[in-house]
Amino acid sequence: MIDSVVVIVVHLVFALAITPVLIGVMRTVRARLEGRVGGGIVQPWRDVIKLFAKEPLRAPGSSPVLTWAPLLLMASSLVLCALIPLVSTLPLAGVPGELFVVVSVLLLGTVALAMLGLEAGTAFGGMGSSRHMVFTALVEPTVLLSIYALSVPAGTSALAAIVRSRRDDLSSLLNPVSILAIAALIVVVIAETGRLPVDNPATHLELTMVHEAMILESGGRDLGWLEFGSWLRLTALLGLTVNLAVPWAVAGDASWTALLVGVAATTVKLVAAAALLAAVEVFLAKLRLFRVPELLAGSFVLAFLSVSASYLVF
């Protein structure tokens, strides 16, 4: 019980501390590759602090969703960070980080965002919300199938146990099941966090934007929560993917040395993955909206092949 609490606290502090840095790294890498100076690595921190010092506005006739959706998104992202084996694979007492539980916590945040998009009653909000939900619906089978494929060799659907078994059996990293499933998961992470080529995180003014369209009507501290909450989702999903792909040095228990090693290792892995993601994004253009389902269908095929392979290989 005590160990679980320690691990949850470490996960949360780690995620809260590294997330703005991660976003800062991604923006800086992108800026440098495009020949700009960029705002620097701590700029996201300054943005959030600025937003929290501003008053949010409220239109007459708006419902409590306006106030509560940003808070719920933030809370669901925090729960996500607590449950995903970012630093340690210790099974948590009472709340095992089980695949379906994690996915539905993620979906709760998605629903909060989509409801917020509809709340204001503007065309932009509805448009973003509708597109976001279509992508979510199409991503869902890939998420479940790809982790299902990884869970077959591990014999469990608890994420921590899957990471642990992959860390202990390094031969499982380089086989078709693992590679196909990780490839499918990367597409999922890109679609769920609204990165290129699915959505452009750097724009406010495109008719095809998805994430920005939903949060267009929020301001001040509401926007602060929304931004931070969405960034945390990126950290959590990216963290899960890197720990599944390269599970070295993830702590197995709650001892301080193991946790410190885990924090250091995950930091390195996350920063590297984020820099890579940002570098690749420079060379990508946004896909046409109705080409995105084809990308997602492709990732579903990868995940399905991976499940089939898992029955043949093991």
Partner 1 sequence: MNLVDAGLYGLLGSATVAIVMAIVLTGRVRNVIAGLAVLATGVAAALTGLATLLGYSGTGLAIPVALPLVGDLDALVLAPDRLGGFFMLLAGLVIAASALFGIGYAHGPAASRTGWTGFAAFALGVVLVPAAADAITFLLAWELMALGSTVLLLAEHATRQAVRAATIWYAVMTHLSFLLLLAGFGVLINAAGGTSWARMVGIAEPTASLAFALLVAGFATKAGLVPVHVWLPRAHPEAPSHASAAMSAAMVKMGIYGILLVTLRLLPNGPSWWAVVLVALGAISALYGILQASVQSDLKRLLAYSTTENVGLITTAIGVGLLLHQSGQHAAADVALIAALLLALSHAAFKTVLFLGAGAVLHATGERDLDQLGGLASRMPITALTFGVGALGAAALPVTSGFVAEWVLLQALIHADAKTDRLLAVVMPLTMGVVALTIGLGLLTFVKAAGIGFLARPRSQAASEASEVGFSMRLALLGSAGLTIGLGLIPGPLSQLLAGAVGASGIATTGLTGLELGGLGVVVLNPLALTALTLVLLAGVLVVNGIASRRHPRREVELPWGCGGERTSPRMEYNATSYSEPLARVFGGSLHTRRSVEVEHPDDAPLLVSGIEFNQETVDLVEHRVYLPAARLAERFGDFARKLQNGSIHRYVGFSFAALLLVLVLVTR
Tell which positions 134-153 bind partner 1, by CB under 8 A.
134, 136-141, 143-145, 148, 151
Site for partner 1 in 57-76 (CB under 8 A): 57-65, 67, 71-72, 74-76
Considering only residues 226 to 285 of the shown chain, the ones binding partner 1 according to CB under 8 A are: none
User: Could you say which of 23, 111, 188, 246 contacts partner 1 (CB under 8 A)?
Assistant: 111
Among 18-26, 128-136, 182-190, 242-250, which window interacts with partner 1 (CB under 8 A)? 128-136
Return the number of other C-beta atoms located less than 10 Å from residue 137's C-beta.
Answer: 11
Q: Which of 2, 35, 37, 123 contacts partner 1 by CB under 8 A?
A: 123
Nearest Cα to 274, choosing from 205, 224, 216, 201? 201
Taking the least distance from each CB to partner 1, the nearer of 135 and 167 is 135
Q: Smallest distance, Å, CB 193 to partner 1?
A: 17
Residue 14 or 274 having the CB closest to partner 1? 14
**Shortest Å, Cβ 199 to partner 1:** 14
CB of 123 to partner 1, least distance (A): 6
Distance, in Å, from the CA atom of 280 to the CA atom of 58, rounded to the nearest integer, reads 39
Taking the complex as a whole, how short is the minimal distance between the CB of residue 287 and partner 1, in angstroms? 14
Which long-range contacts (C-beta less than 8 Å, at least 24 apart) are formed by 102-107?
Answer: 102/159, 103/140, 103/143, 103/144, 105/76, 105/79, 105/80, 106/76, 106/80, 106/192, 106/233, 106/236, 106/237, 107/136
For residue 314, state whether it binds partner 1 (rule: CB under 8 A): yes
Axis crossing angle, helix 159-168 with helix 220-245, rounded to the nearest 10: 40
Determine the 3-state secondary structure of 75 from DSSP: helix
